[in-house]
């Protein structure tokens, strides 16, 4: 039997013209929250829900739309204010039946205490990012939300009990984890029902598309605007072609069922009025129906949505440029390092950038960026070879060609014009040792002694303790990548040493065996 809040939500959906397949069921678990279950078999192309855009909570549909527009609150800031405003109305909000289903806030790191952020995320990819986020969110509230409480007019009264900084953090956590880009008119918004489907990386069952309530040809449908899951920048598109299947009817009067103004003015006549949810693969009866938030690693999942996944193939670890320079400073002078770094940049190479920081990515299998290998290689060149490379830069047609010539000379191989350097050429013994040192330095940032310690802590931790569990999961996944990086360096080091022994060593072994049988 459905829980009371799910029953209330179903009544609310019916009142707003939001229709969904009777094959979908909503499981309400006290610990895990709500999930969507298939009561019967679902087939690829099945249309399982139609959601009027007027039922979505956006800066255009909210009762606070005039305030938002006059204050110039855009993007997620405006949507967070709209969410706070509707929550402040309680049962008087047209979205009350939907809002009662939402948690107060999502368990994302930006709403953790500073002590929890420092103790649980220290050393991880999220530690500094979350601390920066908290500062920016506070400044947003102070500069944009707080002044509005002093501008209450006769028409609109804002209850300060619902617009405090803690309420803004809570609203931001919901917007970041649950909002969808709807279209250019509405912007991003809270999409009832759509946000109940849980995420599974690389295992999407259902997807969203924006369609007109009027009849369309297949070619028209294929040209619909993208609907993007989660409105934050750099989020992956959730566009999917329309499938065949029964279409639900949409409200025909063009009026918002929430009592708002006519959103389908003459300027918007051709804008799609509903969102459709379409199956993109078969799902058997009894199975959960998943959406996907994109192909993203555990750091991004925890940052935006408050959870992690075991053995996530899209995990990454970053090696900051600052860490590389710290390693370099233990071996070389500042002048030496600046010259080598300058040559690396002159060759046209760069690291990944985020705000004021530079970093190199390690993939989930421990593979470093080629740019990092080239930087380490240049840092470790002898003075003679370094000056030779610097000189060649002024005579070569391309910088890559100059580096390729140096590599071919050092490795006693011939590279034709236009040849590209290989990873194997860059992985000298000294570069492999440098990689191992960087892995050790990166791992030293974590508070616990070893990966094994974290694995043991994770095994004994209950998933109910979400903050500890998922922060440990993130740390373990990152440390596994660093372990793979060490293995990568050690494997190449062994290959180099075996190559140095060459065929002579093999002959000695054979001769030894032969001698033993004489």
Residue 109 has pLDDT above 90, yes or no: yes
pLDDT band at 420 (very low <50, low <70, confident <90, very high): low
Exposure string of 132-166, with b = 16+ CB inside 10 Å and e = fewer, is: ebbeebeebbeebbeebeeeeeeeeebeeebbeee
For 298-358, the three-class secondary structure string (H helix, E strand, C coil) is: HHHHHHHHCCCCCCCCCCCEEEEHHHHHHHHHCCCCHHHHHHHHHHHHHCCCCCEEECCEE
In the three-class reduction of DSSP (H, G, I as helix; E, B as strand; rest coil), residue 373 is classed as helix
How confident is the model over 261-290, as pLDDT tens digits?
A: 343 343 445 557 899 999 999 999 999 999
Q: Please tell me the distance from the alpha carbon of residue 18 to that of residue 248, in angstroms, as a whole number.
A: 9
pTM recorded for the entire structure: 0.80
pLDDT given at position 100:
96
Q: Please tell me the distance from the alpha carbon of residue 484 to that of residue 47, in angstroms, as a whole number.
A: 43
DSSP classification of residue 465 = S
How many CB atoms sit inside 10 A of residue 399's CB?
Answer: 16
In the three-class reduction of DSSP (H, G, I as helix; E, B as strand; rest coil), residue 449 is classed as coil
Residue 37 has pLDDT above 60, yes or no: yes
Residue position matching structure tokens 């003075």: 383
* Residue whose C-alpha is closest to residue 420's, from 389, 399, 435, 434: 399
Q: What is the dihedral of CA 333, 338, 339, 341, to 10 degrees?
A: 120
Tokens at 222, concatenated: 């294929």
Average pLDDT over residues 13-31: 93
How confident is the model over 128-170, as pLDDT tens digits?
A: 999 999 999 999 999 999 999 887 655 667 889 999 999 999 9
Of residues 407 and 115, more confidently modeled? 115
């Amino acid at each position: 039997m459905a829980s009371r809040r799910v029953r209330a939500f179903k009544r609310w959906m019916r009142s707003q013209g939001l229709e969904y397949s009777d094959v979908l069921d909503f499981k309400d678990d006290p610990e895990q929250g709500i999930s969507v279950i298939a009561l019967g078999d679902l087939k690829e192309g099945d249309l399982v829900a139609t959601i009027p855009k007027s039922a979505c909570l956006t800066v255009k549909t909210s009762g606070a739309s005039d305030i938002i527009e006059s204050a110039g609150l855009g993007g997620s800031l405006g949507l967070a204010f709209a969410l706070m405003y509707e929550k402040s109305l309680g049962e008087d909000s047209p979205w009350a039946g939907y809002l009662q289903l939402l948690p107060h806030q999502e368990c994302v790191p930006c709403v953790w205490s500073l002590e929890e952020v420092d103790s649980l995320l220290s050393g991880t990819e999220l530690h500094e990012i979350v601390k920066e986020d908290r500062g920016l969110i506070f400044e947003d509230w102070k500069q944009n939300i707080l002044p509005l409480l002093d501008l209450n007019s006769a028409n609109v009264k804002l209850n300060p009990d619902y617009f405090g900084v803690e309420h803004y953090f809570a609203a931001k956590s919901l917007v970041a984890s649950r909002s969808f880009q709807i279209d250019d008119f509405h912007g991003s918004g809270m999409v009832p029902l759509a946000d109940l489907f849980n995420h599974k990386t690389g295992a999407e069952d259902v997807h969203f598309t924006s369609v007109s309530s009027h009849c369309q040809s297949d070619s028209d449908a294929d040209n619909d605007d993208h609907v993007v899951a989660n409105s934050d920048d750099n989020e992956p598109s959730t566009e999917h072609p329309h499938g065949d299947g029964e279409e639900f009817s949409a409200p025909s009067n063009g009026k918002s069922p929430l009592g708002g103004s006519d959103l389908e003015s003459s300027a918007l006549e051709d804008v799609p009025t509903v969102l459709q949810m379409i199956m993109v693969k078969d799902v058997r009866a009894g199975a959960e129906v998943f959406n996907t938030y994109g192909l993203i690693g555990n750091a991004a999942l925890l940052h935006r949505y408050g959870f992690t996944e075991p053995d996530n193939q899209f995990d990454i670890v970053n090696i900051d440029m600052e860490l590389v320079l710290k390693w370099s400073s233990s071996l070389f002078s500042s002048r030496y390092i600046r010259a080598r770094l300058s040559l690396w940049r002159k060759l046209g190479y760069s690291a990944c950038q985020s705000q004021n920081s530079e970093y190199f990515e390690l993939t989930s299998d421990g593979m470093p960026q080629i740019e990092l290998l080239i930087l380490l290689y240049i840092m470790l060149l002898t003075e003679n070879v370094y000056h030779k490379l610097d000189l060649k830069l002024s005579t070569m047609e391309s910088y890559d060609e100059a580096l390729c010539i140096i590599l071919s000379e050092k490795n006693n191989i011939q590279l034709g014009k236009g040849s590209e350097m290989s990873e194997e050429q860059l992985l000298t013994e000294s570069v492999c040792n440098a990689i191992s040192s960087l892995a050790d330095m990166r791992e030293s940032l974590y508070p616990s002694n070893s990966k094994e310690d974290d694995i043991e802590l994770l095994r004994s931790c209950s998933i109910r303790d979400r903050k500890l569990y998922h922060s440990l999961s993130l740390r373990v996944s990152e440390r596994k990548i660093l372990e793979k990086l060490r293995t990568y360096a050690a494997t190449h080091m062994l290959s180099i040493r075996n190559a140095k022994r060459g065929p002579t060593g093999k002959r000695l072994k054979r001769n030894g065996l032969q001698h033993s049988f004489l």
